[in-house]
Amino acid sequence: MSNINLAIGNQENRNNKRPPKKGMVIAIIALTVTIIVYGGLIVLQKKVAAQVQVAKSQYQIKYKKVLAGKVNDVLDFKNRTSVAKKMLAQREDMNEILNNIESAMIPAVHLESLNYDKTKNIILLNCISGSFYSVARQILSFKEDSFFITVVPGNNFLDTQTGEVHFIIKLKLK
């Protein structure tokens, strides 16, 4: 069998190199971008790891400070709680005391100040009234209240400028 060449034209042009195609250019660009992004990620990872290490060390320092301070705070809170429980056990409920004083007060008398001595369980009231009659009614109101053991009237005086009677009452609690 003989060899038949059916090609038309010059054989020399076929052996020349062809220009690169678009696909090869895009592949090289994609590879280059991938390598650059990978390198950037490696650098970024190193920076983030260093920042994480710094943050962890700062956290440890602050955590140790908090633990050192919290122990004292917890002990202080425990001490305060035990004192509060003792006070509640001793029936030193100020709300109850104030409620009883309020219920025993008559409308014509105004409370100027209140001093409470918890060691003696005594309340000292400074009051203001419009007349001596109101003073007497107020003392009688406290004496009739069973919450107070003793009611001792103190000094009283008439303020001539305002016309008000200032008086002191000493109350002993049960």
Q: What is the pLDDT of residues 89-125, one digit of tens each?
A: 655 567 888 888 999 999 889 888 888 888 888 999 9
Tokens of 53: 């290490």
Q: Quick one: 113 and 161 in the same domain?
A: yes
Q: Quick one: 83 and 98 in the same domain?
A: no
Domain boundary among 90, 125, 147: 90
Is residue 139 within 8 Å of residue 97, measured between CB atoms?
A: no
CA 168 to chain centre: 42
**Segment 2-35, tens digit of pLDDT:** 777 666 666 555 555 566 678 888 999 999 999 9
Q: Quick one: 85 and 120 in the same domain?
A: no
Tokens of 102: 């309020």
Closest Cα to residue 131, out of 103, 158, 151, 168?
158
Q: Quick one: 103 and 167 in the same domain?
A: yes
Domain at 116, CATH number: 3.30.1360.100
Closest Cα to residue 122, out of 149, 145, 102?
149
Structural domains of the chain, count: 2
**DSSP category for residue 8:** -
pTM above threshold 0.85:
no
